[in-house]
């Protein structure tokens, strides 16, 4: 991923996440595979329907900034202190203090 695309994804995600972070969100990662944004949200414990709806709205806001890209959303429950292995070429846009 080139630097300009990475910066655009970071800025888009920061805007979309404003006011949307809940205490049960541990980490959020973004990546770009071909023409698809990979949006991965790691939750601590059970993922509610509201959690999924809220993060789907965030994903929609992110992808709406890019006319030629698609988005793949993954919402994973990985309770603390278990670790998530970040896929290659993905980067963290949010991490709570643990």
CATH code at 78? 3.30.300
Q: Is the pTM of this model over 0.85?
A: yes
Domain enclosing residue 32, as ranges: 3-95
Residue 38 CB neighbours (<10 A): 16
Measured distance CA(50)–CA(33) in Å, rounded: 27
Using only the alpha carbons of the chain, give its radius of gyration.
13
pLDDT of residue 50: 97
pLDDT of residue 15: 98
Structural domain tally of the chain? Answer: 1
Measured distance CA(19)–CA(3) in Å, rounded: 26
pLDDT of residue 1: 85
Q: In this predicted model, what pLDDT tens digit does every residue of 25-40 receive, in sequence order?
A: 999 999 999 999 999 9
Closest residue by Cα to residue 27 from 6, 98, 61: 98
């Amino acid at each position: 991923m080139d630097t300009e695309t990475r910066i655009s994804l970071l800025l888009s995600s920061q805007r979309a996440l404003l006011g949307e972070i809940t205490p049960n969100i541990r980490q959020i990662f973004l990546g770009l595979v071909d023409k698809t944004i990979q949006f991965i949200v790691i939750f601590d414990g059970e993922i509610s329907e509201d959690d999924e709806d809220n993060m789907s709205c965030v994903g929609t806001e992110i992808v709406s900034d890019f006319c030629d890209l698609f988005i793949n959303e993954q919402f994973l429950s990985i309770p603390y202190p278990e670790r998530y292995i970040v896929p290659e070429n993905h980067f963290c846009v949010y991490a709570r203090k643990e």
